[in-house]
Amino acid sequence: MATSELYLCAYSTLSQKQHDRDNQVMMPDSVVDDVLLSVKNISLSFGGVKALENISFDIRKGEIRAIIGPNGAGKSSMLNVINGFYHPQDGEVWFKGIRRNNLKPHQIARQGISRTFQNIALFKGMTTLDNLMTGRITRMNTNMFWQAIWYGRAERQEIEHRERIEQIIDFLKIQSIRKTPVGRLPYGLQKRVELGRALAADADLLLLDEPMAGMNIEEKEDMCRYVLDVNEQFGTTIALIEHDMGVVMDIADRVVVLDYGRKIGDGVPDEIRNNQTVIDAYLGVSHD
Ligand SMILES: Nc1ncnc2c1ncn2[C@@H]1O[C@H](COP(=O)(O)OP(=O)(O)OP(=O)(O)O)[C@@H](O)[C@H]1O
Ligand SMILES: [Mg+2]
CA 265 to chain CA centroid, nearest Å: 20
Instruction: Kindly state if the Cβ of 80 falls inside 6 Å of ligand 1.
Output: no
Distance (Å, rounded) from C-alpha 156 to C-alpha 148?
Answer: 14
> What integer pLDDT is reported at residue 145 of this predicted model?
66
Would you call 13 helix, strand, or coil by DSSP? coil
Instruction: Kindly state if the Cβ of 69 falls inside 6 Å of ligand 1.
Output: yes
Q: How far is the centre of ligand 2, averaged over its atoms, from the C-alpha of 212 (Å)?
A: 13
Q: What are phi and psi of 139, to 5 degrees?
A: -100, 0
CA atoms 231, 187, 105, 53: torsion sign: negative
CB-CB contact of 96 with 32 (8 Å):
yes
Would you call 212 helix, strand, or coil by DSSP? coil
Q: Where are the domains of the chain?
A: 1-112+205-214+240-288, 121-202
> Within 10 Å of residue 189's Cβ, how many Cβ atoms?
19
Distance (Å, rounded) from C-alpha 56 to C-alpha 41?
Answer: 5
Per-residue pLDDT of the chain (288 residues; tens, 9 = 90+): 333 333 333 222 222 222 333 334 555 544 447 999 999 999 999 999 999 999 999 999 999 999 999 999 999 999 999 999 999 999 999 999 999 988 888 899 999 999 999 888 889 999 999 999 998 877 766 566 666 666 666 777 788 888 999 999 999 999 999 999 999 999 999 999 999 999 999 999 999 999 999 899 999 999 999 999 999 999 999 999 999 999 999 999 999 999 999 999 999 999 999 999 999 988 876 555
pLDDT in tens, 70-108: 999 999 999 999 999 999 999 999 999 999 988 888 899
> What integer pLDDT is reported at residue 284 of this predicted model?
78
The CATH code of the domain at 121-202 is 3.40.50.300
Instruction: Kindly state if the Cβ of 145 falls inside 6 Å of ligand 1.
Output: no
> What integer pLDDT is reported at residue 120 of this predicted model?
82
CA 91 to chain CA centroid, nearest Å: 21
Distance (Å, rounded) from C-alpha 156 to C-alpha 22?
Answer: 31
> What integer pLDDT is reported at residue 157 of this predicted model?
78
pLDDT in tens, 224-253: 999 999 999 999 999 999 999 999 999 999
| Superfamily of 1-112+205-214+240-288 according to CATH | P-loop containing nucleotide triphosphate hydrolases (3.40.50.300)
Q: How far is the centre of ligand 2, averaged over its atoms, from the C-alpha of 74 (Å)?
A: 7
CA 214 to chain CA centroid, nearest Å: 18
Q: Burial of 113 by CB count in 10 Å (0-12 exposed, 13-18 middle, 19+ buried)?
A: buried
Would you call 259 helix, strand, or coil by DSSP? strand
Distance (Å, rounded) from C-alpha 242 to C-alpha 67?
Answer: 7
> What integer pLDDT is reported at residue 176 of this predicted model?
96
CA nearest neighbour of 108 among 74, 81, 76 = 81
> What integer pLDDT is reported at residue 14 of this predicted model?
28
Residue type, 250: D
Instruction: Kindly state if the Cβ of 30 falls inside 6 Å of ligand 1.
Output: no
> What integer pLDDT is reported at residue 62 of this predicted model?
97
**Nearest C-alpha to atom 31 of ligand 1 is from which residue?**
72
Q: How far is the centre of ligand 1, averaged over its atoms, from the C-alpha of 259 (Å)?
A: 11
> What integer pLDDT is reported at residue 6 of this predicted model?
36
CA atoms 126, 132, 138, 141: torsion sign: negative
Among 46, 68, 118, 263, the mutation site with the greatest number of ligand 1 atoms within 8 A of its Cβ is 46
